[in-house]
Amino acid sequence: MNSDASPAYPAPLPNEDADHFIRTAINLGATEAVIIPSSQIMVEDYLAELCNGKPVCPNYGLSPSCPPHVPGPSAFRLWQNKSPWCVVIRMDFPPVGPLTQDHRDLGHLLHEIVSGVEHDAVIRGYTHAKSFAGGSCKHLFCYDFGSCRVLSENGPCRNPDTARPSMSGFGINVARLMASAQWKKPPDSTSMSWLAGLVLL
C-alpha cells in the first residue's frame, strides 16, 4: 500500500463535476463509471515488473505507453498525490479473442473514453488530469505498422488524442480498483467480460 497517498477522504469533488465526468464516460461508451478517492488505487511494484517477467509480455518495449518507456509506479504515486480523486471506468462486453479485430475495437473504445474524460477534466480546470487504460497502444492503434513512430523515428505519435498508457506498466492493481469501485466480476465469465480504465483528477 502506498504510505504517501492522499488522505482517504479529500475535499469533496463538486457534484456538478462528478456528475459531468460520469455522464461523459457513459455517453462515450462506458457501462459504468464512479468517482473514488485516488488514495484507494493500490499501486504495487511487482505488478509492473511482471511486464518484463518470464514470460515477457508480448507488448513489452513496443510503444511509449508500455514499459520500459513509462516511468512506472513511483511516478504514478506522485501523480496520485497531486490528484485527490479519480474516475474509474468499466466496459462490459461478451468475451472476444485477444488478437481479434473485435478486441482491438473494444480497446480502442476504452482509450477513447478515458481520453475523452481527461480532455473534459482539463477544460473544467483539472489541469493535472491523466488517463490510463488497458492494452498496448501499438497493438490497438498501430498494429498494421511495423514499429511505433515515436520510438523508431523520434517522430510524433499517430494517435496522440486517444492513445493512453496501460495501467499494467504503473503497477495498478486492477482487481483492487474494481473492489474500490464496488464492482464485482461478472458471475458468468463465459458470457460477459470487462475492461477498465481510470482518470486521475
Annotate 94-118 with DSSP letters as a single string: ----TTSHHHHHHHHHHHHHHHHHH
Of 172, 169, 140, residue with least CA distance to 157: 140
> Is 89 in contact with 167 (CB distance < 8 Å)?
no
pLDDT tens-digit series, residues 32-74: 999 999 999 999 999 999 999 989 999 999 999 999 999 999 9
Beta bridge partners of residue 89, listed in sequence order: 33, 197
Which element (helix H / strand E) includes 25? helix 15-28
| Residue 7 scores a pLDDT above 80 | no
Q: Average of pLDDT values for 186-191?
A: 59
Q: Cell 479519480 maps to which residue?
A: 86
Nearest CA to 36 out of 93, 80, 92 is that of 80
Residue 177's nearest CA partner among 59, 76, 61, 93 is: 76
Q: What is the mean pLDDT of the chain?
A: 90
- Cβ–Cβ under 8 Å, residues 185 and 178: yes
Binning pLDDT at 50, 70 and 90, where does residue 135 land?
Answer: confident
Q: What is the pLDDT of residue 8?
A: 53
* pLDDT score, position 44: 97
Q: Is the pLDDT of residue 126 over 60?
A: yes
Q: CA-CA distance, 168 to 84, in Å (whole number)?
A: 21
For the chain, what are the domain ranges?
A: 15-200
Specify the 3-state DSSP secondary structure of 198.
strand
Q: Residue 33: beta bridge partners?
A: 89
pLDDT tops 90 at residue 169? yes
89 vs 94: which has the higher pLDDT: 89
Reported as a pLDDT band with limits 50, 70 and 90, residue 5 is very low
- In the chain, at which residue ranges do the beta strands (DSSP E only) sit? 32-37, 85-93, 130-132, 193-200
Three-class secondary structure of residue 92 per DSSP = strand
Percentage of the residues of the chain whose pLDDT score is greater than 90 = 77
pLDDT beyond 60 at 100 = yes
Residue 6, pLDDT > 60, answer no
- Is 84 strand, coil or helix? coil
Whether pLDDT at 1 is above 50:
no
pTM, full prediction: 0.89
